[in-house]
Structure 1
Amino acid sequence: MSEANRKQGPRMVVCIKQVPKAQELQVDPVTKTLKRVGVPSEINPPDQN
């Protein structure tokens, strides 16, 4: 490792998933799928650790 890389420090990428808030989920009665429009999102709880 070169001295320039040591001074710079580690580089990291953290992936998280945005999901609809569980308390405000709505299901479309016709398609039986989640309604995502207008539902607030949050970070997937397991990704917060």
Structure 2
Amino acid sequence: MLRTLQLLLLLLVSVILIWPLENMPHNPVHIYTTLSFLLLAMQWMVILMAIS
């Protein structure tokens, strides 16, 4: 349960961080880069939570 909440919180934070970037002039490369960084960050969070 706690892990689910942590993941949801992480997702919320990432959305808040990405929102201003997404409102910038749209170019697909920028969006894909942002998404890949997001996925990378989420993977790391999952790994760290699994370890702890």
TM range (shorter): under 0.3
Greater fraction strand: 1
Greater fraction helix: 2
TM-score normalised by the chain length of structure 2: 0.23
Larger radius of gyration: 1
TM-score normalised by the chain length of structure 1: 0.23
